[in-house]
Amino acid sequence: MAALRPSGRAFLPPLCRAFAGPGCQRAPERGAERRDAASGRVSGFCPPRKSCHDWIGPPDKHSNLRPVYFYVPENESPLEQKLRQLRQETQEWNQQFWANQNLTFRKEKEEFIHSRLKARGLELRAGSGQKATLDAEEMADFYKEFLRKNFLKHMYYNRDWYKRNFAITFFMGKVALERVWNKLRPKPKTST
């Protein structure tokens, strides 16, 4: 939810909302496209039709990340479109990485617990029906091994994450300069 300025106008956080643009009207074909794409996502969340801001949805059940539903302004410039698309691609890439990583983590954790319990001659469920667990020290062995096995994967992820964020920041600067230029440049004289 946006904080309100004393004048009553909504103040939007600069990083993710700065590029929404002055026009609050959604282009019909783009708006419909956006709503259709949003319905195909994991969550059933869809921002209101007349919204002119980015929305952050509920956490994805696989990646645990909150998806951003990007606003598409009616008068979006090619540079603004490139920035939005880069942000969307980065979000999808990030969601996919963490969904896969979390799936791998859960699977290997269950296998680790099962193998340790089996080595002790215990079942996954105790006689009372309660799920058997391992103590913190044994689980620390799993976490340490999991991080060791995935060190390179995380290193490459971090490298790519920084590259993508640098590119996004670069395009944000270009869009900001374009907007300043558009406000400052002389307007063509209209003849009546």
Single out the residue of 68, 69, 86 nearest to residue 174, CA to CA.
86
CA distance 103 to 122: 25
Q: For residues 23 and 75, is the Cβ–Cβ distance under 8 A?
A: yes
Joined tokens for residue 11: 């103040």
Q: Which residues pair with 11 in a beta bridge?
A: 3
Q: What is the pLDDT of residues 30-72, one digit of tens each?
A: 344 333 333 344 567 777 777 788 888 899 999 999 999 888 8
What three-state secondary structure class fits 94? helix
Dist. CA 9–CA 66, nearest whole Å:
26
SS3 8: coil
Q: Given the structure tokens 């059940």, which residue do they identify?
A: 61
- How would residue 144 be classed by pLDDT, with cut points 50, 70 and 90? very high
94 closest CA partner among 70, 72, 66: 66
Global pTM reads: 0.67
Residues constituting the chain: 192
Domain ranges of the chain: 78-184
Give the C-alpha separation, 181 to 82, whole Å: 18
Lowest-confidence pick of 118-127, 159-168, 169-178: 118-127
